[in-house]
Amino acid sequence: MKSSATGTNRRYWSERQVLPAQLPKNGSVSHYFLGLMFPALIHTSTHLKGGIFGVPRFHKRESQFSIRTPWKFSFQPAYVDMYSLSRRRKILSQEKGFRYRNMASQNMEKLESNVAIIDYAQDVPLSTSYEVAMEALSSLIRQKKRGDQKGIGGKYGKLDRMRIYLKILDLEEHMAGLKIIHVAGTKGKGSTCTFCEAMLRESGFRTGLFTSPHLIDVRERFRINGVDISEDKFLLYFWNCWNRLKERETEDLPMPPLFQFLTVLAFKIFVCEQVDVSIIEVGLGGRNDSTNVIEEPVVCGITSLGMDHTEALGNTIGQIASHKAGIFKHQIPAFTVPQVSEAMDVLQENAQELTVPLKVVEPLDSNELNGLKLSLSGDHQLSNAGLAVSLCKCWLQRTGNWEKLFQNDNKEANLPEAFLRGLSKAHIAGRAQIIPDLSSTSSSCISSEVAETSGDLIFYLDGAHSPESMEVCAEWFSSAVKENNLSPSLVSFSSHDIESINKVPGNGYMQHEKFNIQEINKISKKILLFNCMDVRDPQILLPRLVSTCASSGTFFSKAIFVPSISTYNKVTSGTSVVPSDISSKDLHWQFSLQRLWEKIVHGIDTDSLLEKSTKMDGAETLPHRQFLYEDASNCSPTDGYLACSAVIPSLPLTIKWLRHCVRENPSLRLQVLVTGSLHLVGDVLKLIRR
């Protein structure tokens, strides 16, 4: 029997069609779980080699610089029925660690080219099984909160354990073929990786990008050709890795903790997806990070260094630099940006020991962009972009692609056209991101590009959580609000931010030119929406934020402190239920942040004024109606009255209240800076996009 796996006449077939009536009643449902978790295969003469379950691309990549020959598979959602789901839930409740009975990974390896599974219309939402995967991932979290130093046991060290995991998954021999760009640093490593991915994708390569953390959904960590991996592909690779590692679990070799699992999962995805280049962001530090199982990167990069994660990396910038330099490999080129002398000395010492050619890259000159604008906002992104350009040039040269790609480019040009396109299209959520809340706009009419008004409620999102990044965040926010207030009808924001309205390609900036005199007369108030993890030091973060903003003439009218929805010990998805019960919410931390804020604003302690229960009565959950309009000069802490700040026990309640305020007063423009925690930023994104 033959089938066509290419072109528009692609046909799906099966040697044996399985119908719902044929489902077994004896509990042996492994084949049906296979149908649930793994998409349909198309017959092909290609056999799988090396134990890797190859799943190809949705579209054959059109590039003359292909490093691999694409495998000819295709997949569609497989049939799922309620009987199968109920059996799966029963098994989950009976077997430890979410083990799926008889669904060992050898089932995948036995799938040869003469096997096919027919694809049916899927009657049950995929999110059902996706949430089960999230529960499984949550079980891998060993730390109940950040900063816990609890080990996982076993006789192996972290990197030795990682090598064993790679061997179990048959990934060892494929690592070098991933052509990795490995990036560490304190600030900007996610942005640098994102720039690298966009430039190489625009150059015609199939890219894989692994970053952390995610903001809304764990699939954000794995991008193929600039797009988050789909749910069905994620489930395919997730359960394959899960079951193979679970089968080999012992007291000496436990299941990997969350980040280690996600790291090997990234390698699995990129190998199976046959990417041409893998851009890997270090999770924490470098020397002992799970990603440092990479032995043969093509090139390494170190972004700007600062004081962060001191509980794990040390209390000096030199100690932190030593951890970051741990990703250097013998004679592999490396690049970094200008650093403070103590950090640079350590980087250079480590480079010399390994005969690493280390080059320092200056920030990109904006004149090199030929009139284009970096898609990621903030002057600090010029440093990240400069590093990314050097990493990509080196990668192209060392893989033998530079001359092939750019031999016809203008030799006078500093940057190839593909690089310029990538720098102007790269996108990363939650970093210097502006999102007008269109659900609260005073205009109910939205054009094909943007709302008629600039938006009464505008969120400025930045997950800054270190002193250095907080300063950068403050500089960006001050510049952004001034630009928007001077030209309120020229609000620029990413097309990703309004994808719920329409899909807009391009470099991420949109403008509408209609000048509305009513916009100029709006009352603009700057609001801080803040939370940070208790391992951070708000006594450094908040004063740095306030002083940097003040030096640019930017002052907050009010500050709101609110707990995040996300928790450190649970992995959720974009469709996870948002908890609504706030009756038992512990607000000790938020009240301590408020006390610090009032001390910064007024210069006096307000501890005695804020000695209240951490459980708020319903009447106290929201500020009174005049809170936003009161001038800070009327705030009298000595009289027990605080008009400068508030604690609200629920983030959904906070967003709802802000929306109500601007709807009630169309002349009000609230510019809300959300910062202090990537968890908080992710939660806000999740709420305003629903």
Burial of 172 (0-12, 13-18, 19+ CB in 10 A): middle
Give the SS3 label for residue 543.
helix
Burial of 665 (0-12, 13-18, 19+ CB in 10 A): middle
Beta bridge pairs of residue 224: 208, 227
Torsion region of 400: left, alpha or beta (phi above 0 gives left; psi -120 to 50 gives alpha): left
Burial of 412 (0-12, 13-18, 19+ CB in 10 A): exposed
Burial of 192 (0-12, 13-18, 19+ CB in 10 A): buried
Q: Is the dihedral of CA 109, 110, 113, 116 positive or negative?
A: negative
Q: Which of 230, 212, 264, 283 is nearest to 571 (CA)?
A: 212
How far separated are the first and last CA of the chain, in Å rounded? Answer: 47
Are β-strands 207-210 and 277-281 bridged in parallel, bridged antiparallel, or unpaired?
parallel
Q: How many residues does the chain have?
A: 690
**Backbone phi, psi, residue 227, to 5°:** -120, 135
478 vs 459: CA distance, rounded Å: 13
- A 10 A CB-CB count for 630 gives 16
Radius of gyration of the chain (CA): 26
CB 327 within 8 A of CB 282: yes
* Amino acid 271: pLDDT: 98
**Backbone phi, psi, residue 182, to 5°:** -110, 125
Beta bridge pairs of residue 529: 560, 674
* Amino acid 83: pLDDT: 35
Helix, strand and coil percent figures for the chain, each rounded to 5: 40, 10, 50
Alpha carbon separation from 429 to 111, 283, 436, 579 (Å, rounded): 38, 17, 14, 23
State the 10-residue block means of pLDDT for the chain, 690 residues long: 37 30 36 40 34 38 41 34 39 40 37 30 56 94 63 82 97 95 95 98 98 94 97 95 96 95 98 98 94 97 90 90 97 98 97 98 94 91 97 97 79 80 95 86 42 67 92 94 65 43 34 46 90 91 96 94 86 77 78 92 68 47 79 60 84 92 88 96 90
* Amino acid 620: pLDDT: 57
Residue 280: in which H helix or E strand, if any? strand 277-281
- A 10 A CB-CB count for 302 gives 32
**Backbone phi, psi, residue 458, to 5°:** -120, 125
Are β-strands 668-675 and 523-530 bridged in parallel, bridged antiparallel, or unpaired?
parallel
Can you state the angle between helices 467-486 and 538-551, rounded to 10 degrees? 30
Q: Can you tell me which residue has the tokens 């029963």? A: 90
339 vs 308: CA distance, rounded Å: 15
CB 206 within 8 A of CB 275: yes
DSSP states of 8-23: TT-----SS---GGG-
Q: At a CB cut-off of 8 Å and minimum separation 6, what does 690 contact?
A: none
* Amino acid 404: pLDDT: 86
* Amino acid 166: pLDDT: 98
193 CA to centre of own chain: 12
CB 136 within 8 A of CB 92: no
266 vs 272: CA distance, rounded Å: 10
